[in-house]
Amino acid sequence: MPALIVYLLKVNVALCLFYITYRFALRPLTFYYLNRFFLVFGIIFSSAYPFINLSALFVKHELLSRQLTTIVPDWHAVVPAITHQTQAFDYWQIAIALFWVGVVVMAMRLITQFFSLYRIYRSSNPAHHYGQYFRSVSGDLNPFSFWQDIYLNPEKHSDDELRTILAHEQVHVKEWHTLDVLLAELSTIFYWFNPGVWFMKQAVKENLEFITDRKILQGGIDEKVYQYSLVRVGGLMQGAEIVNNFNISTIKKRIMMMNKKSSSKANITRYVLLPMVMLLVLVFTVSKAEINGNRISVLIKRCYLG
């Protein structure tokens, strides 16, 4: 199996494991900043850990590997005989080609979104509302922020709504939520075929809204007024996926989380214990896969030896 395929399998197993852990163990909690760290760490760690020799943590694995390699002590001798045979077509090359085609398509999709955002930027104009800077746009566009800019159509909102929207988007801007969104979008380019990465991207964006909602309510804005603004803006056209929209499709879940009581601090232990369990699962899975791979290689070599 080509090294690239092995790498992608490891990455995507880890991504699925991180999402399952978040979805069923951490998402119900109100520790949104810890969840933000967990999700970002999950994407970065999943991409990096295949380069780390996790199996070296287990001495038993090393002993098994040595026993397996001693079954065919002089396997180099069979190499010349094997090379003289006609090589079969490598079907893995088709999988690799399809992978890179998907990467190119997803990269073009992201570039198209950047161009779309650039067109909005060029057609917008600087504006202020009670001293808060934003870029004024036209049309029925859902308010959103990207990097350090906020985009909205002031004609579509009352003064109270404008204050609420600007306060919301300022949280995204000040806490650099665009970095999380871009990381999630980049991960979909290289792991586009894995449902886990799409769930992770959705979880990242959803959790950022949980953070922002909690921050807004803690700032003294009336909860009912704020929730009404979310519902009212829901009918406007959404911006590109690389931006932080004021209202995304998780409105029902967001309102539920706003009304939820703060989680007990005892649940913080989950953020210590669960990553440890996940690491053990990954190490065991990778180690077992490598051992099985060695066994298969040995059996093939024994067949050539007759």
- The residue with greater pLDDT, 32 or 298, is 32
Q: Distance between CA 245 and CA 295 in Å, rounded? A: 51
Strand 144-146 versus strand 149-152 pairing type = antiparallel
Q: What confidence score (pLDDT) does residue 255 get?
A: 83
Q: Distance between CA 72 and CA 74 in Å, rounded? A: 6
* Res. 302 pLDDT band, cuts 50 70 90: very low
Q: What confidence score (pLDDT) does residue 62 get?
A: 52
* Res. 156 pLDDT band, cuts 50 70 90: confident
Question: For 141, which DSSP code?
Answer: B
Q: What percentage of the chain exceeds 90 in pLDDT?
A: 40
- In the chain, the amino acid numbered 40 is V
* Res. 237 pLDDT band, cuts 50 70 90: low
Q: Distance between CA 136 and CA 133 in Å, rounded? A: 10
Across residues 154-177, what is the average pLDDT? 89
Q: What confidence score (pLDDT) does residue 241 get?
A: 72
Q: Distance between CA 244 and CA 174 in Å, rounded? A: 12
- Provide the β-strand partners of residue 132: 129
* Res. 58 pLDDT band, cuts 50 70 90: low
Query: Can you give the residue ranges of every domain in the chain?
Result: 91-263
pLDDT at 299 over 60: no
pLDDT at 11 over 50: yes
Q: Tokens 């809204």 belong to which residue? A: 209
Q: Distance between CA 212 and CA 32 in Å, rounded? A: 9
Residues 6+ apart with CB under 8 A from 203: 19, 22, 23, 27, 39
Q: Distance between CA 283 and CA 15 in Å, rounded? A: 14
pLDDT digits (tens, 9 = 90+) for 175-226: 999 999 999 999 999 999 998 999 999 999 999 999 999 999 888 888 888 8
* Res. 171 pLDDT band, cuts 50 70 90: very high
CA dist 185 to 109, 242, 251, 267, Å? Answer: 10, 7, 21, 30
